[in-house]
Amino acid sequence: MKKLINIIDATKDLNILRSRKDYRAPFEIVGTYRLIDDGLRPEATVIIKAKKKQMHEASTGVGPVDALANVLKKSLSSMFPVIQGISLVDFSSRIHDSRSGTAANVEVNIIFSDGEDIWSVVAMSENINQASFVALVDGFEYAILASKTGK
pLDDT tens, position by position, 33-71:
999 998 889 999 999 999 899 999 999 999 999 999 999
137 Cβ neighbours under 8 A, 6+ residues apart? 29, 72
Q: Is the pTM of this model over 0.75?
A: yes
Over residues 108-119, the pLDDT tens digits come to 999 999 999 999
- CA atoms of 32 and 46, how far apart (whole Å): 7
Helix (H) or strand (E) run with residue 76 in it:
helix 64-77
HSE-CB at 135 with a 13 A cutoff on CA atoms is 28
The residues spanned by each domain of the chain are 7-149
CB 138: neighbour CB atoms within 10 A?
23
- Fold type of domain 7-149: Double Stranded RNA Binding Domain (3.30.160)
- CA atoms of 35 and 93, how far apart (whole Å): 19
